Amino acid sequence: MAEAWKTVAGWDPGANGAVCALLLDAKGHVQSVESLRFSRSTDTDVIDFMREFRPDLTVLEKVTSFGMGRGSAFKFGASFGFAQGVMLSLGARFELVTPPKWQRAFSVPKSDGPQRKRELKAIAQRLYPGRKLVLEDADAHLIAEHARRLLLQRSK
């Protein structure tokens, strides 16, 4: 495989989130897709993943803990802070993007909760038909695609 022109990543924070890296060719087409689910990884695995791929741009989902209990909100905040800390320690360029902003590009039907997650997974599966996606990593793939589109738009 030829060397990647650029690499972008999408980071869906939280214990049931994931990070996805897209390696792009010179035309911005996806050459390779790699992902890491947090439920199956250690913090060191996540750091090593980001160090290996060194994305030119990472989009980190900016979500709130609204509606969560205190314990869940604390864990979620710690995960979000960990993501920012990894990016800062690696000197990586990253941007925070809210769910409505990155989801807008994918024309996600209006729905809530589990149904919305299934719809997002279906969209991600259509974009990456060769990959076996699960609810846990689907958002990260879509956020990475959002990062790819941002990078291409800015490269014009």
Looking at domain 6-155, which of 2.60.40.1180, 3.90.180.10, 3.40.920.10, 3.30.420.10 is its CATH number? 3.30.420.10
**Tens of pLDDT, residues 117-126:** 899 999 999 9
Residue with tokens 């390696």: 23
User: pTM of the prediction?
Assistant: 0.92
**Tens of pLDDT, residues 57-84:** 999 999 876 666 777 677 777 888 999 9
Residue 20: what are its φ and ψ, rounded to 5°? -130, 135
User: For residue 2, what pLDDT band results from cuts at 50, 70 and 90?
Assistant: low
Q: What angle (nearest 5°) sits at the alpha carbon of residue 47, between those of residues 120 and 11?
A: 20
- Do residues 27 and 34 lie in contact, with contact meaning Cβ atoms separated by under 8 Å? no
